[in-house]
Structure 1
Amino acid sequence: MARPDVARDRPMHDRMADDTYRRRVVAELQEKSSQHMSSQDSHGKGTDDLIYKLLEKAEQPNTDSSKGVVEALFCTGDEAASLAESGSPHDAPIITEGQQQFRWSMGDRPIAQLFRRMGFLDKSVSVQIPSRGSTKRSYEVRKLGEVRKRFLTQDSTDDPWNILDLQSPLPHSMPNFLTGENCQLLLQVRNAVLMEDSAERVVASTQEWNEWKNVLDWVLLSEGGHNTAPHMDSHGFATWITAQEGSIGFGWMSCPTEEERNSWTADPHQHTGGRWRYIILKPGQSVFFMPGTIHFVFRVRQHQTLALGGHVLQWTDIRRWMQVMLAQITNSAITNEDMRRSAPKYVLAVAKLVKARAEEGEAEQLGGGAAVTQFFASVKVGLPRTSGDKG
């Protein structure tokens, strides 16, 4: 269960435990493949084969600057907040502990508490099911009540479900270290889209409000053994994930060169080149990673997992954000969402906000004058490609 207190100590990087977890997943995937426990032509089979290859070569990140490039930053809350606010150009994921504001009740597992808070269980949700054929979409629509029964029963399964796009019923759960001014650009984008030129309280339809709520925070619920193939999070988002129940494997391509990134972009479902690193998130720990981070998720079969997550945009990172957006607009297969309709809306909203701040003399808070100039040059390149997809 995620700890509610705000820890001041740096989270421990338990290399031995992390290696044991990785080895266990590798052994389970090898056994699953040898016993033909998954369809030979399914979404799950393709993902499992790729994750197996990546975990065979993946290494733990370097965290010591005296030994070379730092690939992961294990930080106290104060250190993480300083990095987030300063707009540090460091691409390494940030790992913290005890930064969650929301508190679970004692005495019951978080997954059970989550379903009690969900309320009306006749609602429909999308469920990713590994055995579905690779020529079909990867998910089926199921009732929330059926999902609840399956997760609370906790039966062992060779076809683990992963719940997609589950709206969080919890109070705002963004980690404390991401609540500073620099990380609030996405909130400003939401307000610009929903409020237009009004400075009064947001008045929007339930559907519009929920669309934005699901971007800012969401729930990741999965049965043990479900894996997610490498991808970038859509719309150039930076992302945070906080483990709540069960440990979760998080892997990423570390410091990719332009050639490595291009090679992965050309074949994201097969590519295994580059330097792959991993950590295991324990309950109470959060990871925060930058726009364009190529990452994957893996899990042992024994334990269901629950995590809270969300997206942010940083004012100081507008140049990189736009570069990632252009790559994702051009190569739709590298992201986890369809961006054709929404990309122009985000680009126009951010451009309007950046223009206003630059005119108010705040270019330094946007990464400097050169960053602002490059941002608008990229906007001119990107918008013509997306404007025809508005429909």
Structure 2
Amino acid sequence: MRVDMTDLHRKKFDSYLESSRPRFSEDTYLEYVDLLVDSKLPQGSNLRTMQNRKRDIERNYTWEGGCLIFRRRRKVVRRCEFYDIIKEAFDRSGGLKETLFARHIRDNYKNITKKDVYKWLDLLPGRGASQSNPEDITEEPAQEPYGTGEESGTPSGEWSIQKLIDDFENYRWTKSLQSSRYYELIFWLHAILKKSKPADSSHLRCLTMDQATIELGEPRGSNKPILIRGDISATGLLKDIEGCLKDLEYTNKVDVQDLARRKDVTSAVSWPAHKVISRFKAAADRPPSQAPINILDLDCMDDDAVPRCFRSPKLKLLSRLKCHAGRLTQNSAKPWVKTEKWRLLGEGGSGTMAHWDHCGFFTWIRVEEGRKLWLICVLNDEDLEGFIRDGMYFTGGEWYYILLNPGDTLIMPPGWVHAVYTPVRTLCTGGNAWSQKCMGDSMRYIAHETEHIKVTNDDPIPDMPAMLERVSKWMKNAQPIDCGGEEQIQAFQEHYEVCSFFRIGRIIFLRVTRLLMVLNRNI
């Protein structure tokens, strides 16, 4: 009897094995046979060859005691543990069959240990039933710093926060930078870093990829940032800086944030691709007298770029709605395509000041190469008023820092004020999503952005009103359990009306202003 693999998209692999433990050795045996068939046969084999090979394996292999036994004439010829089967299957595979089981193993096999395998098979000696619940992640771990130390993988003596503060102090007296946006960034970061502390478990949750999947799927989560440390096997690092620069050779113009430009003009400019490539290849370390650049919104074409925890149907609201963006208005859906996944390539020294991400999005970011220093701010009601008033120059609140290394993924819920500093050349992959469970919270921050433009550093997306109108219609017809409960539905409708009021008021204001300008010209 073959396992019904369609259930795996709702359950973790571990919990599935726990629920099917009595029949595990019989039912999933055929899946391992499929792995062996797919890995040992050359690509392009016809169906008859595959059927014959599968029949031969089924006839000669038996599953006994967590091992696959190959017998010929009743003699044991080969004994394979599950661990060895997976290694062999994936080391030799030319293209495994796209089942959910195969996808799970493919994403994790590099990090599989025999201890993990025995846990899956329930063969670990002395393991009690109380230890076998992989879903239990409600208990908070003891508070430990995630900003520095071994948890962040920082090599000792390479650089520290104090050294960064000292460098900023020296940069502040560099006359060639004092009229630029970079000087403004340095001045602000210097003030923030002096008061910041390493983040611990009271400010964010340090989870595995599977735990983050469960947390993001809950009707009401903790609403704290989620840190996934070094889960390279689960996320799969997809690009390096050299590969990214090679992709730029096929483009003409690149959007660049040039921090050397004056404060009173926009920092976003278009550079020829060859100029950007030569700039990054010239020197890995930027001289202090030269302001850095950021390459913005690089296209991310990799299908596996989005982390597994963001592939849940509850986080696919934006994906389902973006196809209607071009139909509802005359604007194209292109801005929404780049919203779901993007890449950023920055020189050492670049960064952003205080902001929260626009449109009430959940934001995830993974470091592919280099490092990121992430600063998060914990606000009370008074601090929130100060942030709305001061925007990116806000220095109040309590600031905490996290150092992100290659393979680290950080997930920011909507409305969290943060800033970013890039100490070395860094390539990041990231994306945005709307969650069905907390659209009420997202709408609250969208209403703030409509009234106070300074709280975010992104331009508004043209189709936002049409998209929100469609979300509003969906929430009126949806079941409360599908969108976080009655409280979230009520909050969404309340803030949606406020947002519509300010949007209509702004349109009226612009039209009246234009009318007055025309009258002045006629007079």
Q: TM-score, normalised by structure 1?
A: 0.84
1:219 paired with 2:343, answer: yes
Quote the Cα distance in structure 2 between the aligned partners of 1:171 and 1:145. Answer: 27
Q: Corresponding residue for 1:66?
A: none
Separation (CA, whole Å) in 1 of partners of 2:412 and 2:464: 21
Name 2:409's counterpart in structure 1.
286
Aligned to 2:323, the other structure's residue is in SS state helix
Q: Secondary structure at the match of 1:329?
A: helix
Equivalent residue, structure 2, for 1:330:
451
Q: Which amino acid aligns with 2:185?
A: T
Larger Rg computed on CA atoms: 2
Look up the match of 2:418: 295
Partner of 1:67: none
Contact 1:117 1:169 in 2 (8 A): no
1:372 positional shift? 1.0
Secondary structure, aligned partner of 1:134: coil
The 1:184/1:389 distance shift into structure 2, 3 A limit, reads: farther
Deviation at 1:41, TM superposition (A): 2.4
What residue in structure 1 maps to residue 184 of structure 2?
Answer: 46
The residue number in structure 2 matching 1:140 is: 269
Q: Secondary structure at the match of 1:287?
A: strand
Distance in structure 1 (CA, Å) of the matches to 2:474 and 2:502: 21
2:219–2:481 CA contact under 8 A, matched in 1: no
Q: CA deviation at 1:135?
A: 0.9
C-alpha offsets along residues 275-296 of structure 1, whole Å, 9 cap, x if unaligned? 1011011000100011111111
Q: Residues 19-38 of structure 1 correspond to what in structure 2 (within 5 A)? A: 20-38=159-177
Which letter maps to 1:85?
G
After superposing the two structures, state which structure 1 stretch, 263-272 or 281-290, moved more: 263-272
Q: CA deviation at 1:103?
A: 4.6
Are residues 236 and 384 of structure 1, via their aligned partners in 2, closer, same or farther at CA, if it must alter by over 3 Å?
Answer: same
Asked whether the 8 Å contact 2:391–2:455 carries over to 1, the reply is yes
Mapping 1:149-168, distance limit 5 Å: 149-155=278-284, 156-157=286-287, 158-168=290-300
How far does residue 101 in structure 1 lie from its aligned partner after superposition? 4.4
1:76 corresponds to which of 208, 219, 226: 208
Question: For the residues of structure 2 that align with 1:29 and 1:139, how far apart are their CA atoms?
Answer: 24
Counterpart AA for 1:248: K
C-alpha distance in structure 1 between counterparts of 2:491 and 2:422, whole Å:
40
- CA deviation vs aligned residue, 1:303-356 (integer Å, no higher than 9, x gap): 210000100110000110110000011111111222274431232121122223
**Contact 1:343–1:386 at 8 Å: present in 2 too?**
no
Percent of pairs with identical residues: 22
Q: Tell whether 2:182 aligns with 1:182.
A: no
Residues 310/119 of structure 1: CA separation in 2 closer, same or farther (3 Å cut): same
Counterpart CA distance in 2 for 1:371 and 1:103 is: 36
**TM-aligned CA deviation for residue 86 of structure 1:** 0.5
Q: CA deviation at 1:90?
A: 1.9
Q: Provide the residue aligned with 1:113 in structure 2.
A: 243
Unaligned runs of 5+ in 2: 1-105, 117-140, 511-523
The higher relative CO (CA closer than 8 Å, separation ≥ 6) is in: 1
Root mean square deviation of aligned Cα:
2.8
| 1:171-250 correspondence runs (5 A) | 171-194=303-326, 208-250=332-374
Question: How many residues in Structure 1 have an aligned counterpart in Structure 2?
Answer: 361
Displacement after TM superposition at 1:232 (Å): 1.1
- Partner amino acid, structure 2, of 1:354: M
1:91-124 CA-partner distances (Å, limit 9, x unpaired)? 321011326645547xxxx0111122345231x2
CA positional deviation for 1:224 = 0.3
Whole-angstrom CA distance in 1 between matches of 2:186 and 2:220 = 35
Task: Return the TM-score normalized by structure 2.
Answer: 0.64
Q: 1:351 aligned to 2:351?
A: no
Higher helix share: 2
Task: Identify the residue that residue 137 of structure 2 maps to in structure 1.
Answer: none
Q: CA deviation at 1:388?
A: 6.3
- Long gaps (5+) in structure 1: 64-69, 197-203
Letter of the 1:333 counterpart: K
Residue 149 of structure 2: SS of its match in structure 1? helix
Query: Partners of 1:131 and 1:247 in 2: how far apart?
Result: 22
What letter is aligned with 1:16? Answer: G
Match of 1:363 among 462, 470, 480: 480
The 10-residue stretch of structure 1 (337-346 or 374-383) with the greater mean CA deviation from structure 2: 337-346
Q: How far does the alpha carbon of each residue in 1:5-56 deviate from its partner, in whole angstroms, 9 at most, with x for none?
A: 5468999946236695322322221121134351x22211111111111111
- The residue number in structure 2 matching 1:374 is 491
8 A contact 2:212–2:226 mirrored in 1: yes
